[in-house]
Amino acid sequence: MALLVKFGYNGTCFTGFQKGNGNQSIEDSILSILRTYNIADDLRSAARTDRNVSASGNVLMISTKMQPEKTLRILNARGRDLYFFGYSTVDDDFNPRHCRSKRYVYVLSNPLPTFVETIKKFEGQHDFSAYCRKDARS
């Protein structure tokens, strides 16, 4: 049975999503649980995130014979800073990367001071002619 699992995580606790990306990647953490409890040998994910990036609705797919409710219970009990909250059964050839759309929301903690500091660099008069194409017409 192929199981599509919806999950989230606190990205500040990981070195990024991709396995082998440091000693504490999200994918390595999930795979460790899946393999330790003989749930699955591999996973496919819909998206990967960088270090310190959290997610509230990522999706992964696993092939397993274990009941979905039991799978989620084990993942939630063993996955530190990971939260698994939904599932659906799908065909074995389903690929979560081939979805119709993805939605990203970027939330910055207190971005206003940084924005104000950055935008000040653009105040005043500047010569941007180096970024323009010369008009061949005279």
d(CA 46, CA 98): 8
Is 135 one of the catalytic residues?
A: no
The pairing of strands 55-63 and 82-90 is unpaired
Catalytic choice (28, 41, 42, 50): 50
Helix, strand and coil content of the chain, in percent to the nearest 5, comes to: 30, 20, 50
DSSP run (H or E) holding 6: strand 2-9
Query: Which of the residues are catalytic?
Result: 50
